[in-house]
Amino acid sequence: MIKVKKLILPTTIAALMTAASVVPMQAHAAKAEFSFSGQISRAVSQVDNGIDTDTLHVDNNNSGTRLRLKGQTDLENGMTAGVYWETQYQDNDSSAVDIGDKDTSSAFKSRIREVWFSGDWGKLYLGQGNGAANGTSEVDFSGTTIADYSGNNLDDGISFVSKSSTTTVKNGDAFDNFDGLSRNDRLRYDLPKWGPVGLALSTGQERTEVALRYSSKFDAGGKLGIAAGFVTQDGFTSGSPAKVGIVGGVPAVIPAVAPVPNDFEQLGISASILFASGFNITVHVGEQDLESASVDPEGTWIKVGKITGQHNYSVSFHTVDDLDDVGDEAERTNLSYVYNMAKYGVELFGTFQTSSLDRTGVNFEDVEQFAIGSRIKF
């Protein structure tokens, strides 16, 4: 991280001239601190969807390439104010690249644009940033999250395909960790902590989030973390008006698509425990209550890992039911290793995972992926 610390703003105004006299005044000393940081996150993966294979060079969307700027200054009465700006820029986003895609367009993605205020009364955020429940499904002390976590995006762009059907389904449409509503324009308030317990609430346009978090440390490096997030969202998917287009090479009128209600409530819970020995266990459960559907998607994820110095190992198993279609059963198994040189902000990883999707009437082939990559922070 590149830091510009203790930037002292002008501390004294010697005098102000008026038409009649010189009036000496003393300004309050103000201290502001700024930090600039970021990361590059890349991977190379060999993918087999049961019909075709390909080698993909991607930006690892488990934690993508990004830049951030943070600043804060002390106010009166023990309060602090700050700003947080973060943007992501990815070439070949791993959550979008499929077999046969050579280069996808690069684009800036706005992540965080917020101001905040904190004091003994808690912390208030205004602008685009993390909703209160963001990350509540992702508590994880395994040390392998760059390669695998409950919301793994490394193969989300890869499609399940069938030898006997033209139906395809993206991995990212079959799996979910039912986390909070990510980053959005909201007003968020974090209450002061009660010991190891924290409570946060946020509200945005047609959405609310509530999160409860617990964290504690024990046994010479051991720790426990638990989080639960509840979200509600009201609204519609975007429709489209009727238009003239090309269908089968012939000009035709493409009918209008009406907006579809996507109101839902969602609950995600995760917990992770790290023992002094380095052995760790992480679990996640989540469910979405869709107002427009009779069957609600749900998922379970468990990871077992071991940390030995800079070496991090893990194996995880993820199941999600009824997400892309009623009756769907998606399963994913992941083996990961991460070499973490935290002192230098460097991580190297390798991961192998298999994914399957069972759907009535369609025989999807399993997807296999082996990937190696690195994230370097600065």
Residue 108, pLDDT score: 85
Q: pLDDT band at residue 356, thresholds of 50, 70 and 90?
A: very high
What pLDDT score does 251 carry? 65
Write the pLDDT tens digit of every residue in 310-331: 999 999 999 999 999 999 999 9
> Rounded distance, CA 366 to CA 117, Å?
49
Residue 76 phi/psi, 5-degree rounding, is -75, 165
- pLDDT classification of 16: cutoffs 50, 70, 90: very low
Nearest CA among 365, 367, 307, 358 for reference residue 334: 367
CA distance 353 to 323: 20
At residue 258, the pLDDT reads 58
The pLDDT, as a whole number, for residue 106 is 76
Measured CA to CA, the distance from residue 298 to residue 287 in angstroms comes to: 4
51-60, 90-99, 238-247, 350-359: least confident range = 238-247
Reported confidence tier of residue 293, pLDDT bands at 50, 70, 90: confident
Percent of the chain past pLDDT 70, that is, above it, reads 85
In the chain, where the domains are located? 2-10+29-237+258-377
Q: In this structure, what is the dihedral angle of CA atoms 58, 63, 64, 69, given to the nearest 10 degrees?
A: -160
Here the contacts of 255-261 (C-beta below 8 Å, separation 24 or greater) are 260/236, 260/292, 261/235, 261/236, 261/291, 261/292
Which residue in 73, 80, 3, 67 sits closest to 35, CA to CA? 3
- How much is the average pLDDT of 65-87? 96
Per-residue tokens: 286: 């989540």
- 220-257: pLDDT as tens digits: 889 999 999 999 998 755 556 666 555 555 566 666 66
What pTM does this model have?
A: 0.84
Digit-coded pLDDT (tens) for 150-194: 999 999 999 999 999 999 999 999 999 999 999 999 999 999 999
Residue 216 — left, alpha, or beta (φ > 0 → left; ψ -120 to 50 → alpha)? Answer: beta
Tokens representing 185 are 């324009």
Tokens 């409570």 belong to 199
Indicate the average pLDDT of the chain: 88
Closest CA to 310 of 332, 335, 282, 342: 342
Residue 166 CB partners (closer than 8 Å, separation 6+): none
Q: What pLDDT does residue 238 have?
A: 55
Q: Which amino acid is at 202?
A: S
2-10+29-237+258-377: which CATH topology? Porin (2.40.160)
Predicted local confidence at residue 242, as pLDDT: 60
Kindly state the greatest CA–CA separation across the chain. Answer: 93
Sign of the CA dihedral 4, 88, 175, 298?
Answer: positive
